[in-house]
Chain A
Amino acid sequence: MVDDDAVFGEVVRVDGVNAYVVRAVFGSSRESGVGEFVGVESAEGVVVSVVTGVERLIPEDVVSMLSFEMESKYLPYSADLGTSYYLVFGLGLLYRECVRYGLRVAPQVRSRVWRLEDDVIRKFHLSFGSVSISYFNRYREALGDDVLLAIVDELWRVLPEAQTMLVPVRKYLRGGGVL
């Protein structure tokens, strides 16, 4: 299913149906940037997700100052200070050649996470007969304009046929995106 070489991390925390923390595999060959598409293993299929942030250092002395409840929350970060932790946001599901934008079930902790191939990203955006980034509107508030702009940059490369429509979207997001 997924080439072990492509796997770059695993889910170590699930903050909701869409938001996960992924611990990168030690010694991963390449850093992941904001806006990059990753797949998250789930029982239903592949959760197509996007990297929204990265965390690298959680001082241990801070952990000791946290309450018991909060400590458990931050524990994963304190385990290995050399590890990158990526914030990942689930956009939709790719399953049996079908695409569904939006999620109802979150992936499990320990689910594998890997970088998506360009053809998979295209498939995710072309599944409705025409190119679509309709999750932009749906998750705009949760993702923020900077992340969306990073996704636009990613799509500019992967979906050249969508560039004419990405131009106004990019301008719109840069302008504050007032509807």
Chain B
Amino acid sequence: MNPVGVVLTHTREGFSFVTKHSFASGEFVYYRLGGDRVLARVRHTEPLRDYPVEFLLDPEVDAGDVAVFYGLDASDYQFYRAHARVVGYFDRIVNEFINPRVMPLSGTRIERVDDTILSDVNRVSASEVGSAHIGTILGTKTDAVLSVREMVSQHLSIIAATGAGKSYTVGVIVEELISAKNMASVLIFDPHGEYGVLSDIQNDHSFWEEEYRPRVRIVKPEQIKIRVGDLTPGDFISIMDEGNMSEKMKTLFMRAYESLKKDEKRLTRSFTKNELRETIEGLSDGTNEPSIAGLLWRYDRMVREKIFDDYRSIPLREYFQPGLLTIMDVSGIGEWKQQWIATILLRQLFDAREGTDNERYSEERRPERYLPHPVFVILEEAHRFAPQTGDAKSRQILKKILSEGRKFGIGVCMVSQRPSKLDADALSQCMTQVTMRIINPSDQKQIGESIESVSRDLLDELSALARGQAITSGVAINTPIIVEIRERRTTQIRGTSKDAPRVWREQMQDERSETIETRPSYELDVGV
């Protein structure tokens, strides 16, 4: 028994206890109820007693010394009143925390949790298959472990302000997913080209186990292609139309597309850019030349973009394999093109997994669409692909995957620094949440509305979280916890802030060394 406090009183919301220990918000304690040990989370603390304000007015004079001088017991001022919320006792039959709905009475001893009790917050242990050891529970050495099964099947959100450790945390989770205990099939959609350093994984022996060697594939921007045959007529029109495309042009395009698709049914391959162009030209009947010309001008402008290709597309089976991390580096590609790449990728992925599960695709029939294993897609800057307001082609398919992907084994991790700009429905579909420091009030509000599993008092901690600390909640863990994210095994991701003063100085010194120094003429002794 290791009592650290005694219950003072309780309310409907929780109880308060007197302690000398300075608990941080989010730390755990427990009390005994019958044979059960009931876990409780400290919400906040306040001093049990304050010194008289007059004792505090002169910073040169120690208030404790004045108190002793006056006859007060200074140790009485060392106590806290800690407010705690009951989590419950862990029931090993139902494998979850049960709230006893009985609050502890005044005088009940409060004890510090040990590793055996705290480990109940994890659904899985750190070493077992299907686990992701992301760090330690705040203020303890107890591992914080997510259930990969739940996290991958019911989606994950990683939300953090810039500099709070978002990319770092993604890296930690990827390390866990790609390790031998999971051998996951993961793709990172990387708008800033910052995850390339994760290629260290394949050469890092700590990831190797027996025959297992994780692989990392980095897809460079120039390698990413969208096959025109994979676009729907709506996609074409959406890309071509800048607000001045007439209805007649749209109708003509639809006719050309449908006509080519009918032909394509007789073909074993999808159509090319030229085939579609020729089909549009073929619609000319002497009365519609201006519309055909306008349509062709827009079509040509679109297909001139190097990203659109006749044959090459997103090779799903090359990108998604167990034990393979694919990093799609889309940096340097315009935002609307990134949205199109994401749209095509997710659309094809959904089709492949749905078709494979429903036995439409197999090794023999459409093998390029046959994807017989679950996949996990990490979307950095997710607010670009499912924005709360404004248009984004990818939003529809992303929301479809978030709501239906579970059935077909498609997990999505949405990473964002601006949750208020992220579609609220999409965010609420992520049933595991890793939420780091967020200062912006509208972002905090969005999180509060989208994440039901986290209590208000824990969310109040969002702005106070230190770098590398995260509120972790949802289905992959038994109760929300604050986690100190563990150290990465691989190199630091480039997303860290630049040391601008150092870079400036280095640059300046480099330039000086390359410059021939001259002095003003009046300083020169020309010896005349």
Show the binding face of A for B, using Cβ within 8 Å: 130-138, 162, 164-165, 167-169, 171-172, 175, 177-179
Q: Does B504 contact A (CB under 8 A)?
A: no
Q: Which residues of A contact B72 (CB under 8 A)?
A: 137, 179
Give the one of A131, A134, A168 with max B CB within 10 A.
Answer: A168
Q: What's the Cα separation between A125 and B66 when bound, in Å?
A: 14
Q: When A172-B52, A177-B52, A178-B52 are in contact, do A162 and B69 touch as well, CB less than 8 Å? A: yes
Q: What's the Cα separation between A177 and B67 when bound, in Å?
A: 13
Q: Which residues of A contact B60 (CB under 8 A)?
A: 164
- Check if A132 sits within 8 Å of B52, measured CB to CB: no
Q: What's the Cα separation between A138 and B72 when bound, in Å?
A: 9
- Check if A132 sits within 8 Å of B69, measured CB to CB: yes
Minimum distance in angstroms from B71 CB to a CB of chain A:
3
Q: What's the Cα separation between A165 and B53 when bound, in Å?
A: 14
- Check if A136 sits within 8 Å of B54, measured CB to CB: no
Q: Which residues of A contact B58 (CB under 8 A)?
A: 164, 167-168
A to B CB contacts below 8 Å, 13 in the list: A130-B68, A131-B69, A132-B71, A134-B71, A135-B71, A137-B71, A162-B69, A168-B55, A168-B58, A168-B66, A169-B69, A177-B52, A179-B52
Least CB separation from B49: chain A residue? A179
For window 62-119 of chain B, which residues contact chain A by CB distance below 8 Å? 65-66, 68-72
Give the one of A136, A137, A164, A165 with max B CB within 10 A.
Answer: A165
Q: Does B503 contact A (CB under 8 A)?
A: no
Show the binding face of B for A, using Cβ within 8 Å: 49, 52-55, 57-58, 60-61, 65-66, 68-72
Q: When A168-B55, A171-B54, A178-B52 are in contact, do A133 and B70 touch as well, CB less than 8 Å? A: yes
Q: Which residues of B contact A134 (CB under 8 A)?
A: 68-71
Point out the residue from A165, A175, A178, A179 that lies within 8 Å of B66, measured CB to CB: A165
Give the one of B49, B65, B71, B72 with max A CB within 10 A.
Answer: B71
Give the one of B54, B58, B69 with max A CB within 10 A.
Answer: B69
Q: What's the Cα separation between A179 and B254 when bound, in Å?
A: 82
Q: Which residues of A contact B49 (CB under 8 A)?
A: 179
Q: What's the Cα separation between A177 and B57 when bound, in Å?
A: 14
Minimum distance in angstroms from B527 CB to a CB of chain A:
72
Q: When A165-B65, A177-B52, A179-B52 are in contact, do A136 and B57 touch as well, CB less than 8 Å? A: no
- Check if B69 sits within 8 Å of A165, measured CB to CB: yes
Q: Which 5 A-B pairs have the closest CB atoms?
A: A137-B71, A134-B71, A172-B54, A171-B54, A165-B69
Least CB separation from A135: chain B residue? B71
Q: What's the Cα separation between A179 and B53 when bound, in Å?
A: 9
- Check if B71 sits within 8 Å of A136, measured CB to CB: yes
Q: Which residues of A contact B55 (CB under 8 A)?
A: 168, 172
Minimum distance in angstroms from B147 CB to a CB of chain A:
51
Q: Which residues of B contact A172 (CB under 8 A)?
A: 52, 54-55, 70
Point out the residue from A133, A171, A177 that lies within 8 Å of B71, measured CB to CB: A133
Q: Which residues of A contact B69 (CB under 8 A)?
A: 130-134, 162, 165, 169
Minimum distance in angstroms from A134 CB to a CB of chain B:
3
Minimum distance in angstroms from B288 CB to a CB of chain A:
91
Give the one of B52, B61, B66, B70 with max A CB within 10 A.
Answer: B70
Q: What's the Cα separation between A120 and B434 when bound, in Å?
A: 68
Q: What's the Cα separation between A136 and B68 when bound, in Å?
A: 11
Q: When A175-B54, A177-B52, A178-B52 are in contact, do A168 and B71 touch as well, CB less than 8 Å? A: no
Point out the residue from A135, A138, A168, A178 that lies within 8 Å of B57, measured CB to CB: A168
- Check if B54 sits within 8 Å of A168, measured CB to CB: yes
Q: When A172-B54, A178-B52 are in contact, do A136 and B70 touch as well, CB less than 8 Å? A: yes
Q: Which residues of B contact A132 (CB under 8 A)?
A: 68-69, 71
Q: What's the Cα separation between A172 and B70 when bound, in Å?
A: 11
Least CB separation from A125: chain B residue? B69
Q: Which residues of A contact B68 (CB under 8 A)?
A: 130, 132, 134
Point out the residue from A137, A175, A178 that lies within 8 Å of B70, measured CB to CB: A137
- Check if A171 sits within 8 Å of B57, measured CB to CB: yes
Q: What's the Cα separation between A178 and B51 when bound, in Å?
A: 10
Q: Which residues of B contact A130 (CB under 8 A)?
A: 68-69
Minimum distance in angstroms from B70 CB to a CB of chain A:
5
Minimum distance in angstroms from A163 CB to a CB of chain B:
10
Q: What's the Cα separation between A135 and B60 when bound, in Å?
A: 24
Q: Which residues of A contact B65 (CB under 8 A)?
A: 165
Minimum distance in angstroms from B341 CB to a CB of chain A:
68
Minimum distance in angstroms from A142 CB to a CB of chain B:
13
Using A165-B66, A172-B70 as known contacts, list a sample of 7 further A-B pairs with CB atoms less than 8 Å apart, ordered by residue number in A: A132-B69, A136-B71, A165-B69, A168-B55, A168-B66, A169-B54, A171-B54
Q: What's the Cα separation between A130 and B53 when bound, in Å?
A: 23
Q: Which residues of A contact B66 (CB under 8 A)?
A: 165, 168-169
- Check if B70 sits within 8 Å of A164, measured CB to CB: no
Minimum distance in angstroms from A124 CB to a CB of chain B:
14
Q: What's the Cα separation between A7 and B475 when bound, in Å?
A: 85
Q: What's the Cα separation between A175 and B53 when bound, in Å?
A: 10
- Check if B54 sits within 8 Å of A164, measured CB to CB: no
Q: Which residues of B contact A164 (CB under 8 A)?
A: 58, 60-61
Q: Which residues of B contact A135 (CB under 8 A)?
A: 71
